[in-house]
């Protein structure tokens, strides 16, 4: 369980359960110490209600993405470095799921175009891309992912890859699915076509 989820649960349950019981649920320690974002406890009922609503929204957002993508994503090929999936969540932000594989010629043609789009667009801080691999083996994944500047679902998590393919009804690759990061709602499943027609992202998110 991520620290963000721990804190949201603490706030949601805090009005009904004792600190001791909630801390026991989160395996010890005061969850308020997990994040500097909420360094003080709201005193008034109005403040508590506002924080609770905010935390519920935050929790739903985080859980939607974590349920889809797992608790963490791979940052680099041939590396164990991970990024918490919860860090992608946020209003006004988007996540692109890139279904692709090195053995697929159209994928190899499109990937450099997507890299250029991503590098130009990344400075705006509103888009992150996650590679969902259909490569035949770990070595092929490592080599192909090494050419990408974004994140990936770990190759070892084949079940999640299958679930994502089924969830978004991916029939062929390359496919780029754009999601709202605050709700995991699909904006478009035609991200590939959109990138090709709008390489500067002028009309992004193309909803």
Instruction: Give the model confidence (pLDDT) of 28-70 as tens digits.
Output: 444 444 443 444 445 555 554 444 434 444 444 557 888 899 9
Q: List strands edge to edge, sheet with 151-152.
A: 82-84, 72-74, 151-152, 127-133, 94-100, 175-180, 186-188
Q: What is the 3 state secondary structure string of 87-152? A: HHCCCCCEEEEEEECCCCHHHHHHHHHHHHHHHHHHHHCCEEEEEEECCCCHHHHHHHHCCCCCEE
Instruction: Return the H-helix or E-strand segment holding 177.
Output: strand 175-180
Three-class SS of residue 83? Answer: strand
Q: What is the pLDDT of residue 154?
A: 95
Q: Which of 63, 56, 105 is nearest to 86 (CA)?
A: 63
Find out whether 5 and 67 touch, Cβ atoms under 8 Å: no
| Interatomic CA distance for residues 152 and 75, integer angstroms | 7
Residues with pLDDT less than 70, the chain: 1-62, 78-79
pLDDT for the residue numbered 89: 84
d(C-alpha 43, C-alpha 26), whole Å: 23
pLDDT of 30: 43
Tokens of 87: 């860090």
């Amino acid at each position: 369980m991520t620290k963000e989820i721990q804190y949201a649960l603490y706030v949601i349950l805090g009005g009904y359960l004792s600190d001791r019981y909630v801390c026991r649920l989160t395996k010890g320690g005061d969850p308020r110490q997990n994040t500097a974002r909420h360094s003080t406890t709201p005193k008034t009922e109005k403040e508590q209600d506002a924080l609770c609503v905010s935390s519920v929204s935050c929790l739903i957002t985080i859980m939607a993405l974590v349920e889809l993508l797992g608790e963490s994503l791979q940052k680099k090929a041939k590396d164990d470095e991970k990024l918490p999936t919860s860090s992608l969540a946020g209003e006004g932000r988007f996540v692109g799921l890139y279904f692709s594989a090195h053995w697929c010629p159209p994928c190899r043609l499109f990937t450099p175009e997507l890299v250029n789009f991503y590098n130009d667009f990344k400075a705006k801080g509103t888009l992150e891309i996650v590679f969902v691999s259909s490569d035949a083996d770990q070595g092929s994944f490592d080599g192909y992912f090494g050419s990408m500047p974004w994140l990936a679902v770990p190759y070892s998590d084949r079940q999640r890859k299958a679930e994502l393919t089924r969830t978004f009804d991916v029939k062929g690759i390359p496919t780029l699915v754009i999601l709202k990061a605050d709700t995991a709602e699909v904006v478009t499943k035609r991200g590939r076509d959109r990138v090709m027609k709008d390489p500067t992202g002028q009309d992004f998110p193309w909803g």
